[in-house]
């Protein structure tokens, strides 16, 4: 991946997503975050993109990565995890970048606890994909590709 390239897609993952495969597999599935990354890289290469795939449990690190995406990425796919429902800082950072943003969730957040029904990410996102397990990421990549094409 070349910094400044218009063919880079930043995929950010928030807190606890590093635990995929072992954390509540009945909700999040049995695939690991590494499995999802490999599948995304395969599709991205077919579509002509490079994937920059990252995970952090730190809100400030995610905000920094979003800010750094200006000039180095053409889109952001974001599964902010629990920060989806709590972080005005992530919303502010997303609103400061000028690129397509796709909000991603493994589970259908609207079939879960009421507090998960509100997203601070959604107002900055072009769209939201949720409820399709690891395929949510693939659908998000395809959506970003259509927006960028």
Residue 29's pLDDT band (boundaries 50, 70, 90)? low
Residue showing tokens 């499995």: 35
Please say if 120 is a catalytic residue.
no
- The angle at the Cα of 89, spanning 86 to 95, to the nearest 5 degrees, equals 115
Q: How far is CA 30 from the centre of its chain?
A: 18
CA distances from 100 to 9, 41, 53, 75, 94 (A): 10, 19, 16, 5, 10
CA proximity to 94, closest of 136, 53, 54, 122: 122
Please say if 105 is a catalytic residue.
yes
User: Can you give the length of the chain in residues?
Assistant: 149
**64-94: pLDDT as tens digits:** 999 999 989 999 999 999 999 999 999 999 9
Where in the chain are the domains?
8-148
Residue 111: phi, psi to the nearest 5? Answer: -100, 10
CA proximity to 138, closest of 69, 80, 77, 82: 77
For the ranges 26-30, 90-94, 96-100, which has the lowest average pLDDT?
Answer: 26-30
Q: How high is the pLDDT of residue 4?
A: 43
* Tokens standing for residue 11: 């995929």
Domain at 8-148, CATH from 3.40.630.30, 3.30.70.20, 1.10.10.60, 3.40.50.9100: 3.40.50.9100
Q: How high is the pLDDT of residue 148?
A: 96
Q: Which of 49, 105, 120, 137 is catalytic?
A: 105
Q: d(Cα 97, Cα 94) in Å, to the nearest integer?
A: 6
Residues 98, 127 contacting (CB under 8 angstroms): no
42's CB contacts (< 8 A; 6+ apart) are: none
Average pLDDT taken over every residue of the chain: 91
* Tokens standing for residue 19: 């635990």
Q: How high is the pLDDT of residue 92?
A: 98
């Amino acid at each position: 991946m070349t910094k400044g390239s218009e063919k880079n897609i930043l995929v950010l993952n928030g807190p606890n997503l590093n635990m995929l495969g072992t954390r509540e597999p009945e909700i999040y599935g049995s695939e690991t975050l590494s499995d999802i990354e490999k599948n995304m890289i395969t599709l991205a290469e077919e579509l002509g993109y490079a994937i920059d795939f990252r995970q952090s449990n730190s809100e400030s690190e995610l905000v920094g990565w979003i800010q750094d995406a200006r000039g180095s990425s053409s889109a952001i796919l974001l599964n902010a995890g629990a920060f989806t429902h709590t972080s005005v800082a992530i919303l502010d950072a997303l609103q400061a970048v000028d690129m397509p943003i796709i909000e991603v969730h493994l589970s259908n957040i609207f079939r879960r606890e009421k507090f998960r029904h509100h997203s601070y990410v959604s107002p900055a996102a072009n769209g939201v994909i949720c409820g399709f397990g690891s395929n949510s990421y693939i659908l998000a990549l395809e959506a970003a590709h259509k927006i960028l094409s």
